[in-house]
Amino acid sequence: MINGVLPPESTGNLLRARFGEMFGTDMRIFRAPGRVNLIGEHTDYNDGFVMPAAIGFYTWIAAAKREDRILEAYSDHFEEKITFSLDALDGPPRKHWSDFIRGVAATFEGAGHKLAGANLVIHTEVPLGAGLSSSASLEVATALALTVPAGIAVPRLELAKLCQAAENQYVGARCGIMDQFIASFGVSGSALMLDCRSLEYQLIPVPRDLRLVVCNSMVRHEHASGEYNRRRADCEAGVKLLAQHLPGIRALRDVGIADLDKYKDALPETIYRRCRHVVSENQRVLDAAKALESGDPDGFGRLMYASHASLRDDYEVSCKELDLLVELASSSPGIYGARMTGGGFGGCTVNLVRAEHAAAFEAQMARTYQQATGIAPNIYVCEPAQGAEAWPAERSLRS
């Protein structure tokens, strides 16, 4: 087991056995990963830059097509089976895991992909509510499970966008495209720098002697709960006010730090700080890509610390446990840089650590965080993993 996750063969066997008990032996297996974001936080919905990597925690789905329009889905995490008709998908979010399945089915049908009924068995390795994108991994795995066995070919980019739409419309979080994109396009061994406006991306290999260590504060985050959507509204308010002075801007992506400072007085103080985070974070992603490409982990690490400070002070999406994890990391073995990752308000930090020190780093972080808070953190030592795929892998699936 790595990070508490079973070897893929065992998970495949487990799914086959469960599917066999419930639905029969004819099925295919799909999986989509969670992610960690190395840098570029709360920039995706501002048309900016992000740099996530997929991690080796997957949502797995065994699936078979049915001849009718009924979806039956069993979640082994929730030990619950839901049944609904593809002809009755509408309705508000129910705050239930089935919203993701219903949402994906509804957005694909809405986009003209006529689905068939299906039987699904879902198994997830991605920690829920930890900011590691369990939602997008479920959406993307569901999208493959509902389309591939039904013989429906959906290009990956469209698939990622429809999954984002599913979350926006059926779960109620106004998330950007980052999580669904990395779950769809991640490549093992590389981080992915994405321009969230053009949706062009670049794979940047992560040197083999580095590890992405994820420290879970064990504080559950909840971004459908309002703060996330409020930050997004703050950014939109900032763009509206700045556009009176900078005609032609469409998003904070179009604003530079000099312009922002020039028109500082046109913005309420809080809105100014929200904008300053986004504008400076976009620049940090571009700088971080150069640092990673030129073999400068120290430089990359400094940008991670600066990103965290900006998220804590300007964007106000950190919390005391995440701040503590970053502070403890800064004096732990092998560290280059640390920051909160994902939407915030709890969840995880990402730490760039020298591989040979990863075990010592993990041990020290576990000890010092527990001493300070009484909470035992979960710590995962990760390398960039592969994006969504049929399992065992079928090359033809990605287009």
**Which residues have a catalytic role annotated?**
179
C-alpha to C-alpha distance for 367 and 97, rounded to whole angstroms:
34
387 near ligand GAF, rule: CB under 6 A: no
Tokens of 215: 């420290």
Q: For 135-192, give the DSSP string.
A: HHHHHHHHHHHHHTTTT----HHHHHHHHHHHIIIII-----SHHHHHHHH--TTEEE
C-alpha to C-alpha distance for 380 and 328, rounded to whole angstroms:
16
Q: Which is nearer to ligand GAF, 147 or 341 (CB)?
A: 341
Query: Of all residues in this chain, which one has the CB nearest to ligand GAF in the complex?
Result: 175
- Residue 180 CB, shortest distance to ligand GAF, in Å, is 8
Q: For 65-125, give the DSSP string.
A: E-SSSEEEEEETTTTEEEEEETT---S---SSTHHHHHHHHHHHHHTT-----EEEEEEE-
Given a contact cutoff of 8 angstroms between Cβ atoms, the answer to whether 380 and 257 are in contact is no
Quickly count: other Cβ atoms within 10 Å of residue 52's Cβ. Answer: 29
- Residue 218 CB, shortest distance to ligand GAF, in Å, is 18
Task: Give the ranges where 244-296 is alpha helix by DSSP (H).
Answer: 257-262, 269-293
- Residue 37 CB, shortest distance to ligand GAF, in Å, is 6
Query: Among residues 32, 38, 44, 104, which is the contact residue for ligand GAF, using CB under 6 A?
Result: 44
Specify the DSSP class assigned to residue 10: H
178 near ligand GAF, rule: CB under 6 A: yes
Specify the stretch interacting with ligand GAF by CB under 6 A; choose among 39-47, 101-109, 295-303, 306-314: 39-47
Given a contact cutoff of 8 angstroms between Cβ atoms, the answer to whether 257 and 286 are in contact is no
Interaction with ligand GAF in 202-231: which residues (CB under 6 A)? 223
- Residue 241 CB, shortest distance to ligand GAF, in Å, is 22
Q: Which is nearer to ligand GAF, 160 or 178 (CB)?
A: 178
Query: Among residues 34, 117, 337, 343, which is the contact residue for ligand GAF, using CB under 6 A?
Result: 343
57 near ligand GAF, rule: CB under 6 A: no
C-alpha closest to that of 305 among 336, 339, 277 = 339
170 near ligand GAF, rule: CB under 6 A: no
In the chain, the amino acid numbered 358 is A
362 near ligand GAF, rule: CB under 6 A: no
* C-alpha distances in Å from residue 397, one per residue of 104, 145, 168, 174, 369: 18, 12, 26, 28, 42
139 near ligand GAF, rule: CB under 6 A: no
234 near ligand GAF, rule: CB under 6 A: no
Q: Which is nearer to ligand GAF, 115 or 352 (CB)?
A: 352
38 near ligand GAF, rule: CB under 6 A: no
Specify the stretch interacting with ligand GAF by CB under 6 A; choose among 70-78, 171-179, 198-206, 252-260: 171-179
Interaction with ligand GAF in 296-335: which residues (CB under 6 A)? none
342 near ligand GAF, rule: CB under 6 A: yes
113 near ligand GAF, rule: CB under 6 A: no
C-alpha to C-alpha distance for 259 and 246, rounded to whole angstroms:
8
Specify the stretch interacting with ligand GAF by CB under 6 A; choose among 14-22, 41-49, 55-63, 240-248: 41-49
Query: Among residues 175, 214, 239, 353, which is the contact residue for ligand GAF, using CB under 6 A?
Result: 175
Query: Among residues 29, 36, 38, 41, which is the contact residue for ligand GAF, using CB under 6 A?
Result: 41
C-alpha closest to that of 138 among 172, 205, 82, 184 = 184
Tokens of 195: 């321009």
179 near ligand GAF, rule: CB under 6 A: yes
Note the residues at the interface with ligand GAF (CB under 6 A).
Answer: 37, 41-42, 44-45, 133, 175-176, 178-179, 223, 342-343
